[in-house]
Amino acid sequence: MRPFEYQRCDTVTDARQAGAGGSRFIAGGTNLLDLMKLQIETPQDLADINRIGLDTIDETDEGGLRIGALVRNSDCAADARILRDYPVLARAILAGASGQLRNRATTGGNLCQRTRCSYFYDTAMPCNKREPGTGCGARGGQNRNMAVLGTSEHCIATYPGDMAVAMYALDATVEIQAADGGTRLLPVRQFHRLPGDTPERDNELDEGELITAVLLPKPVGGKHGYRKARDRASYAFALVSLASVVEVSDGKIARADLAFGSLGTRPWHDPRLEQLLVGEEPSKALFEKAADTLLAEAKGFGGNDFKIPLARRMLIATLADATGLNAAGEPA
Amino acid sequence: MKTKLIINGQDRALDADPRVTLLDALRNHLGLPGAKKGCDHGQCGACTVIVNGRRVNSCLTLACMHDGDAVTTIEGIGMADDLDPLQQAFVRHDGYQCGYCTPGQICSARAMLDEAEAGWPSFVSEEMDGAIDLSQLSDEEISERMSGNICRCSAYSNIVDAIREIAHEKQGASA
Apex CA B23: angle with CA B19 and CA B29, to 5°?
75
Confidence of residue B104 (pLDDT cuts 50, 70, 90): very high
Backbone angles phi, psi at A153, to 5 degrees: -65, -15
Place B59 in a pLDDT band, splitting at 50, 70 and 90.
Answer: very high
- Mean residue pLDDT of chain B comes to 95
- Per-domain residue ranges for chain A? 5-48, 223-323
- The CATH code of domain B2-77 reads 3.10.20.30
Looking at residue B175, its pLDDT comes to 47
Q: What is the pLDDT of residues A22-49, one digit of tens each?
A: 999 999 999 999 999 999 999 999 999 9
pLDDT band at A13 (very low <50, low <70, confident <90, very high): very high
Give the residue numbers in A contacting B (CB under 8 Å), as ranges. Answer: 1, 3-6, 8, 26, 28-30, 33-34, 37, 46, 48, 50, 74, 77-78, 80, 83, 87, 90-91, 94-95, 97-101, 103-104, 233-235
Q: Quick one: CATH architecture of B85-174?
A: Orthogonal Bundle (1.10)
CATH number for the domain running over A5-48: 3.30.43
Residue A231 reports pLDDT greater than 80: yes
For B57, which residue in chain A has the nearest alpha carbon? A100
Residue A70 near residue A57 (C-beta atoms within 8 A): no
Who contacts A213 (Cβ-Cβ below 8 Å, separation ≥6)? A54, A66, A67, A68, A69, A107, A174, A175
User: What dotted CATH number matches A223-323?
Assistant: 3.30.390.50
Mutation site for B-interface testing, chosen from A2, A74, A98 by largest number of B Cβ within 10 Å: A98
Distance from CA of A230 to the nearest CA of B (A): 14
Calpha distance A49→B15 (Å, rounded): 21
| CB-count exposure of residue B130 (10 Å: 0-12, 13-18, 19+) | middle
Alpha helices in A29-162 (DSSP H): 32-37, 73-78, 80-85, 87-95, 99-104, 107-111, 118-121
Backbone dihedral angles phi then psi of residue A126, each to the nearest 5 degrees = -70, 150
> Which amino acid does the sequence have at B99?
G
Question: Is pLDDT of B171 > 70?
Answer: no
Question: How do residues A250-277 score in pLDDT, each as one tens digit?
Answer: 999 999 999 999 999 999 999 999 999 9
| Each residue's pLDDT tens digit, B2-28 | 999 999 999 999 999 999 999 999 999
Chains A, B: CB pairs < 8 Å: 104
Q: Which of B36, B26, B20, B28 is nearest to B5 (CA)?
A: B26
| Interface predicted TM-score of the whole assembly (ipTM), two decimals | 0.97
Domain assignments of chain B as residue spans, ordered by start: 2-77, 85-174
